[in-house]
Amino acid sequence: MKRVVLAASLFAGLALLYVPVPASADDDDVVDYRRHLMSALNEHAAALGQILSGAAPDADAAVHIEAIALTASVALKAFEAKVPGGQSRPEVWSNWADFSKRMNEFASETADVAKLAQTKGNDAALASAAGALTCKGCHDVYRQEKK
């Protein structure tokens, strides 16, 4: 009898192994942080889009360009921990070489535009900003649309 109970406990234990483990608090933190970074980028890019279309003041261009460059400089690091979730597709990690190359390009191109804003002013920076903000190219491959 004792042996049966033991076996049953063992099976119960094994069965537990198959229960999908909910994301830990730490994993939630990682996903939340990525979301804050990407949403901040999104808001600054939308503001810049308004400036480019004449719907918001040109004088604010450098603010958004610099905020984008700053945020882009830490964005890749936030994806290094392989924590699926949020709007990230699994391809972020299965195509890591391509994903990280593109994120590094994004960081370096936006840093160049921010430098242009500081040295040559808003008009010069705005002329290059659209070229550096090719968000869609990556989002099409690596971002899941919200359901």
Does 87 contact a second copy by CB under 8 A?
no
Cα three-residue angle 125-131-50, rounded to 5 degrees = 65
Does 77 contact a second copy by CB under 8 A?
yes
Does 125 contact a second copy by CB under 8 A?
no
C-beta of 41 vs 92, nearer to a second copy: 41
Does 141 contact a second copy by CB under 8 A?
no
* Least Å from the CB of residue 56 to a second copy: 4
Report the candidate in 137, 57, 48 with the shortest Cα–Cα distance to residue 99: 137
Does 60 contact a second copy by CB under 8 A?
yes
Does 76 contact a second copy by CB under 8 A?
no
Name 116's Cβ contacts closer than 8 Å, sequence gap at least 6: 124, 125, 128
- The two tokens of residue 64 are 């958004």
Name 79's Cβ contacts closer than 8 Å, sequence gap at least 6: 34, 88, 92, 93, 99, 103
Site residue total, a second copy (CB under 8 A): 26
C-beta of 56 vs 141, nearer to a second copy: 56
Contact 142, 99 (CB under 8 A): yes
Contacting positions for a second copy (CB under 8 A): 26, 29, 32-33, 36-37, 39-40, 43-44, 46-47, 50, 55-57, 59-60, 63, 66-67, 70-71, 73-74, 77
